[in-house]
Amino acid sequence: ARVSAAGTLIRTNPGGGGAAVLGGGAGPFEALAAVSGFYFDRSGLQLPASSPALSRPGGAELQGRTSQRDIARPKSLFVKSSIEVLGGKLTFLGTAQNLDAVGEFQDFGPLSHGTRISVWSEHFRLLYDVNLGSRFSLQASAHYLQASPSSDERLNIGRNDYDLIRSVGVNGFGANVEGRYQFADRGSLTIGLDGSSEDHLLQAFDQHLLQPVTTPEGILLKEPGTITVGDGHGARKTFLNAGAFAQLLWGFAEAFTVVAGARVDVHNIYGANPSFRAGVVYAPLSSPMSIKLLYGSSFKAPSADQLYTQPMKLFDIHGNPALHAQTAHTFELSFARAFGSAFELSANAYALDAVGRVEYVQRGLFLEAQNLDDEWIVGGELEARLKPTRLTQARVSVSLSRSVSNRPDSALPPPRNPLYPWVQAHAMLDQGLVAGLHAVVELSYVGPRAASQSNALVRGENYELPGYLFAAVALSLPSAKLIGERTTRASVRVSNVLTTYRLDPGFGGIDLPSQGITAMLLVTQQL
């Protein structure tokens, strides 16, 4: 079940004693608040038979066991407010999230019944937009972020004498300023600078005793609840990044528009890294069609966990400070055309060159992130949208994706598209019914997926998880006003109505089970 509440837009009229008008009028102040919460119960699931962990020593103990109180309770809060100041608009955005779930199918302790993952995160941003004349606009922003596990989190690695507490977190801040010059009706130049600083508490694992520790003579050495600090506890690392960028957008002819951009990131660990983008769009006014040819490159610095984490046990991930950054080059060609008001067709093809792609490989007694090789990923998608009547909409799509990788020094040949299906097909029908009711029917086919490299290493060979059919139906009720003039909306969605048993790829010898038929109720109430 899901319950959420969304706050109505509030506008305060200037002067006049500060009277508040909900959802109406124009004024210098706006505010919005929204809160949401979920409750999921995945109890009663078993470890899939495809999991290589079942054939390892001790794996027989997992046979027949089921998940217990496998509950997830994520919550989130969003706040937005804006006010007109000095000829511009000042906007505040705030988000707080709590990801709270029992972890019955973690690779470090499957079905141990003692793992709970709970993380709090907060992000706040302040933006200021102003027009300086008819052709120049300026935007400046600043942000702050913080994230860390809550005191409720515990990680159980399959032992009954202790569990683990993560010592990890991040807080940081940054700023951005960009100016846009509109030099023509269809031409603009944007230039900007940004910077960020993130202070990371590097991941380490402390032991939390569940049983007393005594000498052979029975003398108590440590009481239950004692916390023993792990290796690397308290170590910190600061990541600094400064960037400068420019982008030109120009409609140089009636049917053509080009975009060209460049960005340079200067990282305190990885130095200067340039990125580029370019594209041309052909969209004639005389025809409902468009053709796009796009190129873009990118830079991704490794995460603090990939670089510096401490392992929680043998064969867990150990940080690799020598890891290099990843870069990518993407090429895309897309076409879209409308045939009247009832039919639209779009197609695209892409090729992505991932340079220095990162994978976790075994190094001695631990797994370590490594830049193994370059990899090309090619694919495409075809989509059709139909609207035969005012109350009927339909969408059908098919997508293909394949990877090409060379790794002669690996113990195993590379799997094709690990974790990702090479073919997918989706169909959706949205039908308006009587009295404001809406029904949606979805049907998808997800093709076979190669297991993760870590699971292939545990098994000693590559293997695939089979494809599956997935179907869902949803019914939304017409809007009502149960609390004054505030709008109430409700819908119900039933997933996996074909009760297909499907598997998702996991890591460390664990594949992930799916639930059977499930139902979700969504209620939205304006306040």
Check if the beta carbon of residue 494 is closer than 8 Å to that of residue 459.
no
Q: Which residues pair with 192 in a beta bridge?
A: 178, 245
What H or E segment, with its residue span, contains residue 457? helix 453-459
Among 28-37, 163-172, 234-243, the range scoring the smallest mean pLDDT is 28-37
**What pLDDT, in 10s, does the model give residues 477-498?**
888 888 888 888 899 999 999 8
**What is d(CA 283, CA 516) in angstroms, rounded to the nearest whole number?**
46
CA gap 118, 114 in Å, rounded: 13
Residue 71 bridge partners (DSSP): 41
Mean pLDDT of 357-372: 84
Residue whose token pair is 């660990």? 269
Please state, as a whole number, how many other Cβ atoms lie within 10 Å of the Cβ of residue 339: 12
Provide the strand spans (E) within 215-342. Answer: 220-222, 227-228, 236-250, 256-267, 271-282, 289-300, 326-339
Q: Report how far residue 276's alpha carbon sits from residue 259's, in angstroms, rounded to the nearest whole number.
A: 11
Amino acid making up residue 254? E
Q: What are phi and psi of 128, to 5 degrees?
A: -135, 120
Residue 458: how many other CB atoms lie within 10 Å: 21
* Residue 502 pLDDT level (bands cut at 50, 70, 90): confident
Residue 315's pLDDT band (cuts 50, 70, 90): confident
Q: Which 3 state secondary structure label does DSSP give 27?
A: coil
pLDDT confidence of residue 413? 56
User: What pLDDT is recorded for position 320?
Assistant: 95
- pLDDT exceeds 80 at position 95: yes
**Residue 502: which of 524, 518, 523, 484 has the closest Cα?**
518
